[in-house]
Every structure is written in structure tokens, then in C-alpha cells.
Chains A and B, each alone.
Chain A
Amino acid sequence: MTARAAPAPLPPATTVGLLGWLRQNLFSSRGNGAVTVVLAVVLVWFVFNLGSWVFVEADWTVIISRAPLYIVGLYPYEGYWRLCICLLLISVLLGMAWRAWPNAARRFAFGFGAVMLFVGVFPHEMAPDHRALLLLNLPAIGLGYVLTPRPADVSPGRLEALAGSALSPALERAAIFSTPRRKVIAALVALVLTMILILGIAGVPGLDPVNPQDLGGLMINLLLAFFGIVCSLPIGIGLALGRRSSLPILKVACVIFIEVIRGVPLITLLFMSRHILPLTFPEDLNIDRVYLAGITITIFSSAYMAENVRGGMAAVHPGQAEAARALGLRDWQNTLLITLPQGLRNIIPAIVGQFISLFKDTSLVYFIGMLDLVEMGRVSVQGNQEFIDNGREVYLFIALVFWVFCFSMSFISRRIEGVLGVGRR
């Protein structure tokens, strides 16, 4: 962020170096200087107060003594190792992403590794085997990195250059995730394995099924947001196509669906899904509220997704469709093969943005009695008299966790935007 001192001594000191930078960016005029000073004073005061509260006054027992609850909810302790393995799978994927798109994913992989290292080493009550599994994430990231070939347009890293040609054939042979298809298959396998590990399979020793209701904490926020986005994409595309269709009945139905879902607060939808949706199923089909929440969030998200897709398709230049028609493509071919793919490419940043807002919205599932991160914090404070004064600590912690996730996602989104050149056309 700060400027590096320029080595060349030739220009006057007021235009280069720290001083020059200061002058140019902070004190370019008298008014500007005044603004800078006022803001700096406020900033220092704020940071000082926050710091003294965080490090001196706050009592963090409410977080530390119940840390696993915030992360995984009521997930049974015997199953923690399974979650650790899920993390390893994610690490491998992250390593792959790092190799394939170094610009977008490198910091993310670093950050993830750093968190794992910190949690694995930081002195607190944790079984040594869990600790070891967490530390294994670091080699797992490396594994993913090695298993993926270097993209043609990326120059070799410093380490690679050092190793020179001696290692490169070995590296090439190791890079088995070479085609997009293999990458997608790897991701899908990891996804299925993750779900199996989290929920378990009846009858398999060591993989005892877990009551979905016991999923909680940050894990459920992430799972709900992830599946909400993934499942809402096809539905959203369908709705968007319906809304663009020339068949009036279909169109009206899609418009009504989209506008109704977008027009009401999520908590009212959650309430209705809790009490109305079960009534539409036969009596003996008692679906768990986790799935109800998932369905509701997917429906909610698909209405927004439909609008994103529609916007993305509208942004495709009409010349594309005309060219397609000139080539003799039918209307449906035109939509599915020309307009939709280009439209989807347009909305990748919007999808990330929606993922962020969906992730924040998952904090509303408390309304149907699920113990997500926010609700776990609330419950820790409400349900224990010794913590009744520690609400601030809990909410600051929750805010920080959400912020880290949302911020890194919006960071990635901006990088992707850069890679795709979405904003530039």
C-alpha cells in the first residue's frame, strides 16, 4: 500500500519518495490537507479505543471455551475427523485453483493455509490427531498445486525456475488434472466425498449418519450458501428463459414467481416454508428443517439468479443473435448456444456478489431454529448467565468471521472480473 522510496536522487525531494507521495496524495491543497489531518485524528482515536477494548477490557472466554460450537455446531465429537478430511479435500482443490488461476486464488490459498497453521499450532484444547489433520492441510494444498499443470500463459514461479529442468518432467508427469474435464471431475468427486463425510452413510463403520439437525455453526452457513447458489443456477436460468419467452402464460408465471419471491423478506419465506411446506407433503414424510432451509434459500436465491441471468443475456450484443440467425440457427439454438453462454460469462461477478449476500442471509435461518454461527453466538449469551454481559465479544467475533469470508470472496470476484475483462467492454 505504501510507496517504496525511489532510489533515484535526481528529482527534487518534494515530488518523489515518501514525501512526494504524501504531498501528491494527501496534501495537494490546503483543504485536502485539512481533510487528511481531521481524518487521521479520528482514525487514530478509533483504532486506539477499539484496540484497548479488544486487548484489555474484553473477556473472550465465551468464544474460546465454546470454539467448536461456533464452527461446526452440535456435530458429534466422534465425527470431527471426518470434517478435518473434508478440509483436506478443500485444500487440494484450493491448491489446484492456485496453480490454475494464480492471480485469483493464490492469496486465498495462502490465507487458508495460514489459518490452518494457526489453528493447528495455537495452544488450546484440541486432540493431537485433529491437530495433525489440520496441519496436513499445508501439504494438501501443495499436492493440489503439483497435480495441476502450469497454464501456458503463466510464467514459471521462482521455485520452479530454481529447480530447473531436472524437476520439470517429473512435475509434468505428476500434473494429472490437465484438462478442464478432469478438473471438473476432481471437483465433483471432492464434493460428493465431502457430503458423504459430513452426513455419513448408515451401516458403514466409522461413517455413522449424523442427524442433519446437528449441523450448525459456520459450517451450515457455508453449506447453505454454497448449495443455495449451485442449485439456484439451473432454476434461475430456467426462470430467466421463461421470462424471456414469447409464450405469454409461461412468461407471466415466471414473472409472478420472480417478483413475489424478490418482494418479500427472507424471514417470512422461511416461516412459511417451516409451516406451509410440510403440509404439502404426505404426513409421514417429515423432512428435516435443514433441507427445508436449503429449499427455501434455493428458491429465494433462484429468483435473484433469474434476474442476474436475464441482465447478463440482455447485455449480449444483439449482433450476436443476428449473426446466429444469419447462419441459420433456430431460435432455441440461438438462445442456448449463443446468447446464454455469453450471458452467463457476463454475470460471473454478479453470481459471486449474490453468493456473498446469500452467505450473509443464511444468518436468518435462526428464524426456523437452526444453530448457525449467529444463532450459536446468541444462544451462548442468552443461555448462560455467566456470559450475559459478553454479547459484544460474541458479535464482534461473528462480524469478523463473516467479514473475512465476504471480503475474500469479493476480492476474488474483482480478480475474476479483471481476468474476464467484464468491466472493460
Chain B
Amino acid sequence: MTRLLYVQGVPIWRNVVALRWIVQIVSAVVVLSTIALFLLNVAREIEARDIPFGFTFVNRAAQIPIGEAVIPYQPSDSYWYGLVVAGLNTVRASVLGVILATAIGILVGVARLSPNWLLSRIALAYIEVFRNIPLIVQLLFWLTIVLTLPRVVEGYVIADAIFINNSGLFLPWFEAQAGFWPWALITAIGVALAVYAFRRLSRREIETGQPSYPLLAASVIAVGLSLVALLILGPLAIDIPQIEGRFGRLQGGAQLSGSFMALLVGLVIYTSAFIAEIVRAGIQSVGKGQTEAARSVGLSGMLTLRHVTFPQALRVIIPPLISQFLNLTKNSSLAAAIGYPDLVSVANTMTQIAPAISLFMIVMVSYLSMSLLYSLLGNLYNRMIRFKGA
């Protein structure tokens, strides 16, 4: 019998492979049974205490109001649809927030390194003030600022089409007409051409060292093509917001509500303070020798930044940047405090009449999938730079 415990003459308790397997199995048992114990306990208690739980409610009519929606929403729609609407609100805030925060973060980060003492000190103050105060406090502050704007009827009007007041920002927006899809196709082709031209010209710039304005050329191609097609096909009508009704509220166009503005400003400023520090550290991580070398081969300041400093800094910048994007998305869950109907806020309202625990599970899974998306982007990027570096 004892022979069974020997593998190739080595006793099993000294066999590395077997040991590893034993450790694995023990850890698996521990992990699995902990999880199972946890779930079973919870399930049993939920049953024992009659705590409402389950997901049958999602198809019932929600009968709750949602203040703003990207896609049309009625209170008679289902919970499921209501959560989608709320999720899209979260996505809207986080996508816009990510773009703006990155832009402002880069500006502030570069300003931080500016030779102008006042500018660099103000950038420093901006960073140190905004990243050291809890976001919830900042959001409430920005809401107060938005509320001090004039009300709709006394608000600022630009060119009879853009309205700025304490209900938010109202812009003319487009309505798709018959020729929309052909136009979209042409625009897409234009964008593809522009990308091609951008790469081509960039490469020439790198090879010759002469500025060949790739960004300018690319934007001319894309915008020009799209505009020409727009004039020929006429696919879009413009919907201008107008003041209507006895309460003088604005209807039509694109509306960015006051709460949304406050949320966006708060998220952008808070996150951009972190991004600025990341950008600063990234730029500083590029050795001084690199800049000097670029200068010595005759590259101008702008070209040095674009082709030497930035590409190298990006490797340092991108990974923490993506985790900031993730933070911004998660932080948008504070929107409830200032009246923006994001996922958490709407789920909170729904708990009035639907099982809270199920709702919060849905919310957690939604955030989780968003963050996995970010992780995916980060991994893709990492793979990309590794490939190039190899």
C-alpha cells in the first residue's frame, strides 16, 4: 500500500508537484467553502426574516419620476428600463467627465511646470485645494454656484439660441432628417481619411523634422468633407430651445440641467487635480537629456513636446490615468446629493417599492462592468506599448 504514496521514488509529501496541488486544493476548499458559507447563511437569513429579495420586480412598471433622460422615459416604463435610463445618465456624466478632466488635467499639469511663477503657483494651489477636499463637499458648493445664476426668464441668452441660467445650459440640437445615414457614412469616411492623413503627416514630420501640421490637415479633411455633405444632403434640422408655458421653462434642444452641470464641474475639477499631478510626474519622468537631444537635432519646442516628451511620458501617465477614470465613474455615484438622477440615485428612489438589496446588487454589477471595461482598455494599452517596445 505504501508504494502508492511514492511517485518516481519520491514520497508524495516531498514531491513539489503534489505539494503544490495540495496547497491549491486546500486554498480552493477554504475559498469556496467561505463563499458558500457566506451565501448559504445569507440566503437562509433572507428566507427566515422574510426579507424581500428577487428580481421579478424588474418587469413591473416603476411609476417613479426620472428628471432627465438620454432616451425617452415614462413613469409607466418598467424598472428595468428605468435602470437603463439611469445607467445612461451615469455613463453620460462619466464619459463627458473623463474627456474634460483629462483636458483640464493636462493643462494644469503643464501649467504646473510653467516658467511663470504665478501661473505655476496657481496651478499648484488648484491641485492642492481641489484634491484635498471631499468631493461631496465640492459638489454641494458647485450646486450653490449654479443656483446663483439668474433664473430662466432673466438668464443669459447667446444669439437667441443658447440659454444659460440656473436650470442649466440649453443648446440648439439636431434632429435627424431623411439624409442622415448617408451623411453619417460620408462623415465616417472623412474621419477615416483624416486619421490616415494624420498618421502619414506625423510620420513625415518625424522623418524630416519639418513641421507638417498633421492635426490641422486632418481636421480640415474631416470637418470639410462632413460640412460639404451636410450642405448637399441636408440631413439635420436644428431644434432651438424656446421658452414656453406660464412658468417660462425651456423646451427643445439639448439640455444640460443645473444639477448635471454642477456634477460635471465638480467631478472634472476634482479629478483633473489628480490628473494634473499624474501628468506633471509623467513629464518630469522623461529625462532632461531627451529634451536636450531633441533640441540639439533641431526640433522646435512644440515638436519636442509632441514627438519626444509626450510619447515617453504617456507610458508613465496612462496606467494611473485609467484608474482615475475609474475613480471618476465611481465618484459620479455621489450625484444623488445634488439632484442628478444617476444609477445610485434612481435605485435609491426605487427602494421605496422594490427590494433594496436586489436593486443594489444590480447597481454594483453595473459599476463592476463599467470598471472592467476600463481595465480592459488599460490592458489593451499596456499590450500595445509592450508590443511597440519589444
Q: Do A and B come from one complex?
A: yes
A interface residues with partner B (beta carbon < 8 Å): 25-26, 28, 32, 35-36, 39-40, 43, 246-250, 253, 259-260, 262-269, 271-272, 275-276, 279-280, 356, 360-361, 363-364, 374, 391-392, 395, 398-399, 402-403, 406-407, 410
Given the known inter-chain contacts A39-B122, A364-B136, A410-B132, please indicate yes or no for A26 contacting B368, CB distance below 8 A.
no
Q: Is the CB of A43 within 8 A of B122?
A: yes
B93 → chain A closest CB, angstroms: 13
Q: Is the CB of A267 within 8 A of B344?
A: yes
B112 → chain A closest CB, angstroms: 14
Chain B, range 304-356, C-beta contacts under 8 Å to A: 326, 330-331, 333-334, 344, 356
Tell which of B129, B135, B136 has the most Cβ of chain A within 10 Å. B136
Q: Is the CB of A374 within 8 A of B136?
A: yes
In the A-B complex, the 5 residue pairs with the smallest Cβ-Cβ separation, listed nearest first, are A263-B371, A25-B117, A406-B132, A279-B45, A265-B333
Please name all residues of chain B whose beta carbon is closer than 8 Å to the beta carbon of A265 when the two chains form the complex: 330-331, 333, 344, 367
Q: Is the CB of A374 within 8 A of B137?
A: yes
Q: Is the CB of B133 within 8 A of A402?
A: yes
Q: Is the CB of A410 within 8 A of B128?
A: yes
Name A40's contact: one of B46, B118, B330, B372 (CB within 8 Å). B118
Q: Is the CB of A280 within 8 A of B38?
A: yes
Closest to A360 in B: B134
Please name all residues of chain B whose beta carbon is closer than 8 Å to the beta carbon of A39 when the two chains form the complex: 118-119, 122
Closest to A362 in B: B134
B194 → chain A closest CB, angstroms: 31
Q: Is the CB of B372 within 8 A of A356?
A: no
Closest to B131 in A: A406
Is B27 located at the chain interface by the 8 A CB criterion?
Answer: yes
Q: Is the CB of A399 within 8 A of B141?
A: yes
Please name all residues of chain A whose beta carbon is closer than 8 Å to the beta carbon of B51 when the two chains form the complex: 279
Given the known inter-chain contacts A275-B356, A280-B42, A402-B137, please indicate yes or no for A250 contacting B27, CB distance below 8 A.
yes
Is B291 located at the chain interface by the 8 A CB criterion?
Answer: no
Q: Is the CB of A247 within 8 A of B31?
A: no
Q: Is the CB of B344 within 8 A of A25?
A: no
Chain B, range 100-119, C-beta contacts under 8 Å to A: 115-119
B interface residues with partner A (beta carbon < 8 Å): 20, 23-24, 27-28, 31, 37-38, 41-42, 45-46, 49, 51, 115-119, 122, 128-129, 131-138, 140-141, 144, 326, 330-331, 333-334, 344, 356-357, 360, 363-364, 367-368, 370-372, 375
Name A391's contact: one of B27, B122, B140, B375 (CB within 8 Å). B140
Inter-chain CA distance A253–B24, complex, in Å, is 11
Please name all residues of chain A whose beta carbon is closer than 8 Å to the beta carbon of B326 when the two chains form the complex: 262-263
Q: Is the CB of A363 within 8 A of B136?
A: yes
Please name all residues of chain B whose beta carbon is closer than 8 Å to the beta carbon of A246 when the two chains form the complex: 20
Inter-chain CA distance A25–B116, complex, in Å, is 5
B29 → chain A closest CB, angstroms: 10
Please name all residues of chain B whose beta carbon is closer than 8 Å to the beta carbon of A360 when the two chains form the complex: 132-135
Inter-chain CA distance A275–B20, complex, in Å, is 38
Inter-chain CA distance A266–B344, complex, in Å, is 12
Given the known inter-chain contacts A247-B24, A279-B41, A407-B132, please indicate yes or no for A36 contacting B116, CB distance below 8 A.
yes
Q: Is the CB of B132 within 8 A of A402?
A: yes
Q: Is the CB of A262 within 8 A of B117?
A: no
Inter-chain CA distance A275–B45, complex, in Å, is 11
Please name all residues of chain B whose beta carbon is closer than 8 Å to the beta carbon of A272 when the two chains form the complex: 357, 360, 364
Q: Is the CB of B20 within 8 A of A247?
A: yes
Q: Is the CB of A28 within 8 A of B116?
A: yes
Please name all residues of chain A whose beta carbon is closer than 8 Å to the beta carbon of B360 when the two chains form the complex: 268, 271-272
B56 → chain A closest CB, angstroms: 19
Inter-chain CA distance A32–B115, complex, in Å, is 9
Inter-chain CA distance A250–B129, complex, in Å, is 42
Please name all residues of chain A whose beta carbon is closer than 8 Å to the beta carbon of B37 when the two chains form the complex: 280
Closest to B125 in A: A43
Q: Is the CB of B129 within 8 A of A403?
A: yes
Q: Is the CB of A267 within 8 A of B333?
A: yes
Please name all residues of chain A whose beta carbon is closer than 8 Å to the beta carbon of B140 when the two chains form the complex: 391, 395
Name A249's contact: one of B27, B38, B49, B131 (CB within 8 Å). B27
Please name all residues of chain A whose beta carbon is closer than 8 Å to the beta carbon of B128 when the two chains form the complex: 407, 410
Q: Is the CB of B119 within 8 A of A356?
A: no
Q: Is the CB of B137 within 8 A of A399?
A: yes
Please name all residues of chain B whose beta carbon is closer than 8 Å to the beta carbon of A36 when the two chains form the complex: 116, 118-119
Inter-chain CA distance A186–B57, complex, in Å, is 57
